[in-house]
Amino acid sequence: MLTIQYFASIREALDRNQEQLQMPDSVSTVEQLIQHLVQLNPHFSTVFNADKKVLIAVNQVVADKEYELAGNEEVAFFPPMTGG
């Protein structure tokens, strides 16, 4: 079971902070997970649009879209952070 966390403006845009998802057989990478989430809820395409930068962490370690998932990770999506 995947635990998916959404942070900051992504959480606000999707109106959710977390969800649990049984990983489908067709999903093996973060990129495929994103495509699956967009299929489940087309509103997700506004967040995962190619023009927008979304950072990814898997089990609290920064990852990229090619990261191979096993199906029991915590995946987090968050916008780039700025300091000040």
- CATH number, domain containing residue 18: 3.10.20.30
pTM recorded for the entire structure = 0.90
40 lies in which domain range?
2-78
| Spans of the chain, pLDDT less than 50 | none
55 in helix, strand or coil?
strand
Residue 57 lies in a domain: yes
Q: How far is CA 49 from CA 15, 20, 23, 36, 53, in A?
A: 17, 22, 22, 14, 8
Q: Each residue of 50-59: pLDDT tens digit?
A: 677 899 999 9
Residue 84 lies in a domain: no
Residue 65 lies in a domain: yes
pLDDT at residue 43 in the model: 85
Domain count, the chain: 1
